Chain A
Amino acid sequence: MSDPSPHPVETGPGAGVTLHGGDLAWRPVSRSLVTARLLVLGIVLAVPLVVGVVLALVLTPWLWAVPAAVVLVGAWGAWLVTRQVSAISWVELDEEIVIRKGRLFRTLVSVPYGRLQYVDIQSGPLARALGIASCEIHTASPESGGSLPGLPVDDAEALRTRLSARGEAQRAGL
C-alpha cells in the first residue's frame, strides 16, 4: 500500500524510540505555548498577589509574606511550565506518531496511523491570539490517544492532514 500523502513521511529507523534523548528527529512544540501557559499562570496568581499587597499596606507589614509567597509560587510555576513545555516532543515515523511528555513523570505514547479514528484541532481565544492550536489524536480507546498542545496553527492543520491521509492509507491495508 503506497502512501498517498503529499508530504514526505519523516522516517526514522524502526528501532530507536527512547523515553529520553535519542537519535530521532524529535520535534519540539512551539515556544508560544510557554507564553500562553505563563499568561494563564500570571492571571491566576494576580488576584492573590494584589489582595496580599493591599492587605499588607492596610493592616500590618507582616502580611508582606503573602505576596512574597505568591511570587515564589509564581517563579516556581514559571520554571515548571518552561521545563514541561520543553519536555514535549514528537516524531512521525513510518507507521506511528510518537509523543513524549513530562520530566518528573515521563510518558511516551506511540499511536499507529492505522489505529487513528479522528484528529481534533482545538484552540481557545488565547491560543488563537498566539497562533497556536492543540492537536488531539483519538483511537478506539479513550486512554490511548495522544495530544500535542501548542503547535503553530499551520503545522497543526498540516499534521492533521498528514495523519488523516496516512490513517486512511494504512487502515485500508488492515
Chain B
Amino acid sequence: MTAPEVPVVDQASDDGWQRLHPLSPLLRGGVVLLAVLGYFVSQLVDRVLSSFDPGEDPTDDLPGGADGGVGLAVVDHPFIALAVLVVVVAAIAGAFHVSWRFTRFRVTGAQVELRNGVLFRQHRQVPLERIQAVETTRPILARLVGLSQVVVQSAGGSDSHLTLAFLAEPRAEALRAELLDLASRTDEGPGPAAADADVPDGAAPAQVPAGARDRTDEGTPVVAVPNGRLVASTLLHGPTVVAAVLLVLLVVAGGVSSVLFDVGPGVLAAVPALLPAAFAFGVGRVRELLLHGNFRMTRTSNALRMRHGLTELRASVVPLHRVQAVEAVQPVLWRPFGWWRMRVNVAGTGQSEGQEVQAALLPVGTIADVDAVLAPLGADPHDPLVRAALHGTGRDGGWTGPPPAARLFDPWSWERNGYALGDEVLHVRTGRFSRRMVLVPYARVQSLTLSQGPWERRRGLAEARVVSTPGPVSAAVRHLSVADAEAFLDVVGEAARRARRSVPGPAPDAAATARGDSPGNGPPLAPTTSTLVDWPSPHDPRT
C-alpha cells in the first residue's frame, strides 16, 4: 500500500510507557481538593504571619506582622510555623509528584494499559478490539489550564473504563485519534493498512501519520445545530411548558382572586412553594443546553463524531458498526417546527455516566438533518418505509399494527403504531401526536419477547418487542393482535436468523471487501451494503 509508516518516537520512557501531565493529580482532585488545600495553606500562612505578632489571635484575618517581631520566644515560633508550612507544601507536592510518577500509560499494538497507585497498585488493560468509544472531555478546571482527559470506554460498563486524566489538549486529541484508528483497524482485521502500521509489542505506540490523523479528526461535516434552535427546542419541553403555564395561571388567578374576593395574598403565598419545582425544571433545561450547545457532528469512514458543550467541551464518537438501534423522536411541541431528536443504542455503553453523551445522537434537527444522520448509519432516508415511519399512518405500504380492538388502549395512536419489515431493518413507529420511529437492523436483534397482561388478553392483544443492548432506544409494538404478535416473532425471528448467518464472520477480508473499505473513501452508501448490518456481532468474541 502506502509507504511504511514510521512510528514517531514518543516523548517518554522505555517500553512506550508515557506519563500524564504533571498537574494531573492536582486537577483530578477537582475543585474540592483545591478549595481544601487553599484553605489549609491560607490557614498556615495566617498562622505564620500572625505568629509574628504575639498580641493577636491567630484566627484573626489581618496579618499584623507590621508591629510584631519583638521578644525572643517569638523568633522561634514563626520559624517553626514557617517550617511547618514549607514541610506541608513540600509533602503535598511530593505526594502529587509520586502519584504522577507512578501513573503511566502506554498504547501497544494490542492494548491500552494504565498503571497507577503507589501502595495499592492497579494495572488496567483494555484490548484495542474491546474499545467501544474514545471520548475526550474537558472539565472546566482542566480547561483553564488547557488540559483534557481521555476516556477509553470498553464493554462492561463504566467500571471498566480507562481514564487518562489529564493530558495537554493536542496530545489528548492525537491520542484519541490514534486509539480510534487502532481500534477500528483491529475491528477490520489485519488488513494491509494495519500490517503496515503494526508494531511489535512493547515498542513505541504506532502514531498515525499526520494525514490519516487529520482524516480521523475532522471528517466530513454532517450536521451543525444552531444554538438558537437549541435554545428554542430546549424551552419547548413538554413538562417545562406545562409547569410554566401552570405557574403563570396560578399567579394570575391568585392575584385576581386576592383583588376581587379580598382573600388576601394567601394564594400568592403558595407560589414560592412551587419555586423548587420550577428551579428543578430550569436546572434540567440549562444542563441540557450546556451539554448540547455548539453541537457539531462530523463523519469519518467508520464513526460519527460529535463535539458539543458550552462549558465543558465534549468530543464523543459513535462507531458506526456498534450502533444497535436508532430512534428519532418528535415531541408534539416540536411539530410546528419539524424538529426531531435522535438517539442510538451503542453496544458496550450501557447505563454508565457517559450515557447522556452517548444518548443524544442529535439533540435537535430538521428532517434534512435526520436524513443526513441516517445515511451514514446505513439506513436509506429515501426509503418509503422510513418516510412512513416518520410521518405516516394507516396500514398501507407493508405496515402491521394494532387491530381496532386496541382502540380502548390507544384511542389516538392505534392507527399509526405498528411495524414494517425492510430488507435488512425492522421499522417501528409509535405516537400520533409525539412521533417516534425506531430502526433495528435484523442483525442486531438480541432476542424477541411477547407479553400479554390480563386486559390485553380479554381483547386478544399482545405486545411484541425486540430486545436491543442497553440504551435509550427500545423497540416495542404494543397491542398487536395475538396472531400478528406471533407472526412478528416468526418473521422477525426468521429475518434475524438470516441476518446472523449472512454476516461474514471469520473472514475479515471478506468483510472488508463487502464494505468496499479502503482508507480514503468511506463505506458506500448503497442500501445493499448498509453499515448497520454488515458488521459482525459486537459481542462476538473475535471482535
A positions within 8 Å CB-CB of B: 14-20, 95-96, 104-112, 114-115, 117, 139-146, 170-174
CB within 8 Å of A: which of B417-471? 445-454, 457, 462, 467-470
Can you add 14 more A-B contacts, CB < 8 Å, to A17-B486, A19-B462, A112-B496?
A: A104-B453, A105-B451, A105-B453, A106-B451, A106-B457, A107-B449, A109-B448, A109-B449, A112-B497, A115-B537, A139-B467, A140-B446, A140-B538, A174-B540
Query: Given B490, B497, B539, which contacts A17 in the complex, CB threshold below 8 Å?
Result: B490
Contacts of A114 in B (CB 8 A): 500, 537
Closest 3 A/B residue pairs (Cβ): A144-B467, A144-B447, A108-B450
* Dominant secondary structure of chain B at its interface with chain A: mixed
Q: List 17 A-B contacts (CB under 8 A).
A: A19-B482, A19-B486, A104-B453, A105-B453, A107-B451, A109-B447, A110-B448, A115-B539, A140-B539, A141-B446, A141-B470, A142-B470, A144-B449, A145-B447, A171-B537, A172-B505, A174-B500
Say whether A95 contacts B448, CB under 8 Å: no
Closest residue of chain B to A145 (Cβ to Cβ) is B447
| Bound: A171/B493 CA distance, A | 16
Q: Determine if B383 is an interface residue (Cβ-Cβ < 8 Å).
A: no
Q: Is the CB of A171 within 8 A of B489?
A: no
Q: How far is the CA of A142 from the CA of B450 in the complex (A)?
A: 17
Is B362 an interface position by the 8 A CB rule? no
By a CB distance below 8 angstroms, the chain A residues around B452 are 19, 105-107
Within B494-523, which residues are at the interface with A (CB < 8 Å)? 494, 496-497, 500-501, 503, 505-506
Chain B positions within 8 Å of A140 at CB level? 347, 446, 469, 538-539
Residues in chain A near residue B468, CB distance under 8 A: 141
Q: Is the CB of B540 within 8 A of A18?
A: no
B539 touches A112 (CB 8 A): no
Indicate whether A18 sits within 8 Å of B496 (C-beta atoms), given known contacts A107-B450, A109-B447.
Answer: no
Instruction: Show the binding face of B for A, using Cβ within 8 Å.
Output: 347, 445-454, 457, 462, 467-470, 482, 485-486, 489-490, 493-494, 496-497, 500-501, 503, 505-506, 536-541
Residues of B within 8 A of A16 (CB): 490
How far apart are B511's CB and chain A's nearest CB, in angstroms? Answer: 11
Chain A residues, Cβ within 8 Å of B449: 107-110, 144
A15 pairs with B490, CB closer than 8 A: yes
Q: Which residues of chain A are within 8 angstroms of B450 by Cβ–Cβ distance?
A: 19, 106-108
Name the residue of chain B whose CB is nearest to the CB of A171: B540
Which A residue's beta carbon lies closest to that of B457? A106
Q: Which residues of A contact B470 (CB under 8 A)?
A: 141-143
* Docked pose: A36 CA to B126 CA in angstroms: 44
Chain B min CB distance to A58 (Å): 42
Contact B467 A141 (CB under 8 A): yes
Contact in complex: B537, A174 (CB < 8 Å) = yes
Q: Which A residues touch B506, using CB under 8 A?
A: 172
Residues of B within 8 A of A107 (CB): 449-452
User: In the complex, A23 Cα to B179 Cα: how many Å?
Assistant: 53
- Given contacts A14-B494, A15-B490, A141-B470, whether A112 and B454 have CB atoms under 8 Å apart is no
B536 to chain A, nearest CB (A): 5
A172 — which chain B residues lie within 8 A by C-beta?
505-506
Q: Is there an interface contact between A105 and B454, defined as CB atoms closer than 8 Å?
A: yes
Contacts of B454 in A (CB 8 A): 104-105
- Point out the residues of chain A lying under 8 angstroms from B493, CB to CB: 14, 17, 96, 110, 112
